[in-house]
Chain A
Amino acid sequence: MSYYEFFCPVKVIAGQAALEHLPYEFSSRAVERPMVVTDKGVRNAGLLDKVLAACEEGGMDITVVYDDVPADSSKQTVTAIAKEYRKQKCDGILAIGGGSPIDTAKAVNILVSEGGDDIAQYAGSGVLKRPLKPFFVIPTTAGTGSEVTNVAVIADTEKEVKLPFASSFMLPDAAVIDPRMTLTLPPQITAATGMDAMTHSVEAFTCLAKNPLSDAYAAAAIRKISNNLLKVMEKPDDAERRLELAQASTMAGIAFSNSMVGLVHALGHSLGAVCHLPHGLCMSLFLPYVLEYNLGQIREPLSELLLHLAGPEIYAMTPKSQRAEESIATIRKLRDDLHRHCGLPRTLQETGKVEKSQLDRIAQMTIDDGSIMFNPKEASLEDARAVLEKAWA
């Protein structure tokens, strides 16, 4: 008999004019002076202005903005933002951006709620014992799902380690999904983040901690990505389909944060650390090869996914014994199409940033990555090396 746990208390505010709900959400949590945490990319793309305008029109002036979060946020960044928060006497946090501003804001919220200047003292799982300050998130990519996950990673640049934080208290009070916030995403980032959400869903559906609730979110997310990603690549200003992708990303986030991920993420984390490639791209590079590797253990769920990946007609036409292979073929075709649209690399060699001599180190890091614990098949160093070899060219 199986056992599972499922938890997602985040209020999701999604759709047309979602941003305009922010002033009400702030007031419902008695927030009068929120601090915005974001990065230069968000400001330069004009996305910050959209949020500020929506709040101003709703009778709320946001005056405290920190827009200098780097791509890999550090302890020092978190300390600096927390100092500013206290100096400005803020009473809540609004994160706007992709993974880095959201993770940074989660860490800042720990410091300003619990006290102190060193975020490292709160690293680990289960350290936090009480609710934090009001926290809201507006994702600007459709991939990470960070707006519904209870984890954050911050770099300790002095010790050259990444500090993980995990607690259900880090989850935001609300996530605002507005199609205007992803309309201007460049094609390659749209493709890579879409494949990130796809990987979250597929691993959630096939790894050890899968459960009926995460399965439902994962399957629905896969359907939305399959139906909309290529259409958005063809017509980037299609707000309806952009919203579908953004929702898929959030649903995939809910799925994988309740069922964890596996070898694709273990390989992807290691590749990203060694070669500094974007996370979504790393996911796309490994997904079909890991599914092939795991096939013996995941044939049944992967067969089921064909319905959501390719639609009912292809599912019905494919013999049951070939559905798992057809699912992998469908993902490969999606990667080929994305490569044609925007040049998203399909192999390690195509990235132009990976040396074959680095594969041993990546394999070694892979088998020490926490995600590997939840992979349905036991992966040894040799197995990880073999998957890397297949993904090479």
Chain B
Amino acid sequence: MIRERLRPLASQAKRAYVQLMLDVVGRSLEAISEVDDQVRNEVTVLPDGFLFSMQVMPKGPALFMRKQRDGSLQYLGGSVAQRPDLSIQFKHLHHAFLVLSFQEKTAQSFANDRMLVDGDLGYAVRMTRVLNRLETFILPRLVASRAVKEYPDNLGLPEKVFSAARIYLKVAMNFVDTVRSS
């Protein structure tokens, strides 16, 4: 009986977590695209104005990013009227939760048919690498190892801490700007 009553609450909490994480990932992607050369190299081949989204099917939480002329990614929030050029879609809220709570690697989620790609597969592979790079920087090694296929051997602690600090700072400033403007 109690479990029955708690179920909607758990589902709401899960939705809120996924929404929050997608927001954090969107802002972090914007930040890492401004500070990390490797991510800029990955993004550089995308056409200017390229619209990328990650969303939960059918109309769940989402993030939208646009490639800027200066080579960076701009976070546009959780909804955009325009159809994205590339969309990575989770089939179910729980599948997104598994990935965003680092219980399942992104590549394994693809392998398990929990995610669909609508758009150029080559660009999807690139954006997955960008997401992996982000996770290796902003997450502790133990957690990041659960999120990516392989934690890079050549990522030293000083580089990780320095880059993570810059990303976190930019994300924090981005949040403050959002709060001020709302």
Contact = CB atoms under 8 A, between A and B. Distances in A.
Interface string B100-142: 0000000110111110111101101110110010000000000
B116 A374 contact: no
Contact of B122 (A208, A370, A376): A370
A378 B108 contact: no
A164 interface: yes
Contacts of A24: none
A311 interface: no
A96 interface: no
Given A125-B118, A378-B148, A370 B113 contact: no
A377 interface: yes
A377 B122 CA distance: 18
Interface in B136-156: 148-150
A221 interface: no
Interface string A196-209: 00000000000111
Contacts of B118: 124-126
B149 A260 contact: no
Given A125-B116, A378-B149, A208 B111 contact: yes
Contacts of B117: 125
Nearest to B112: A3
Given A3-B112, A4-B112, A125-B116, A369 B122 contact: yes
A367 interface: yes
Contacts of B128: 373
Contacts of A160: none
Interface residues of B, number: 22
A207 B112 CA distance: 12
Given A208-B111, A260-B111, A377 B150 contact: yes
How large, as a class, is the contact surface on chain A? 20 to 34
A273 B26 CA distance: 35
A378 B149 CA distance: 6
Contacts of B125: 367-370, 372-373
A309 to B, nearest CB: 24
A377 B114 CA distance: 20
A75 B135 CA distance: 40
A373 B107 contact: yes
Contacts of B110: 208, 373-374
Interface in A359-393: 367-370, 372-374, 376-378
Contact of B107 (A3, A368, A369, A374): A374
A5 interface: yes
Given A368-B126, A377-B149, A208 B108 contact: yes
Contacts of A260: 111
A126 B148 contact: no
Interface string B8-44: 0000000000000000000000000000000000000
Contacts of A4: 112-113
Contact of B113 (A5, A207, A368): A5
A125 B126 CA distance: 18
A260 B108 CA distance: 12
B154 to A, nearest CB: 10
Interface of B: 107-108, 110-114, 116-119, 121-122, 124-126, 128-129, 132, 148-150
The 5 closest A-B pairs by CB, nearest first: A209-B111, A370-B121, A378-B150, A208-B111, A368-B122
Interface of A: 3-5, 124-126, 164, 207-209, 260, 367-370, 372-374, 376-378
